[in-house]
Amino acid sequence: MQYDCDNAFYKIIHGTIKANVILEGEHFVAFHDIAPKAPVHVLVIPKGNYADYYDFMENAANEEIIGFFKGVNQIVKLMKLEQNGFKLRTNSGKFRLNDEGGQEVMHMHFHVLGKSTEE
């Protein structure tokens, strides 16, 4: 899939729009979802230009893939989700059969959803 730079997450990475960033690493940025669907709802995105999960896994270098998923786990730890459990979700693709992907922002991202143990 062709990557289109005109999307909110590309703009967050490049500083043209602001996000509530929690953590940034060499290969990822993690920030609070603007419309949270759980007490903890963090989005983790790779810094490279990948439209969706399939594109990322097909085309990213191994270092980027490892760096990204290590970043996801850093968020799990930071948000203290490991004890009670958590959900990871990615919607991949907008225009697949019957709109199955359901992805809205066409820059690959994982949703980290949970309820912090610190309440």
CA distances from 118 to 32, 72, 77, 79 (A): 17, 19, 12, 9
CB-nearer residue toward ligand AMP: 8 or 72: 8
91 in contact with ligand AMP (CB under 6 A): yes
Count other Cβ atoms within 10 Å, centred on residue 43. Answer: 21
Report CA 27 to chain centroid distance, whole Å. Answer: 11
Among the candidate windows 54-62, 63-71, 74-82, 96-104, which touches ligand AMP by CB under 6 A? Answer: 96-104
Q: Does residue 41 have an active-site annotation?
A: no
Residue 108 CB, shortest distance to ligand AMP, in Å, is: 9
CB-nearer residue toward ligand AMP: 67 or 101: 101
Sign of CA dihedral 117, 28, 24, 21: negative
Catalytic residue numbers read: 109
Footprint of ligand AMP on this chain (CB under 6 A)?
Answer: 8, 19, 33-35, 43, 91, 102-105
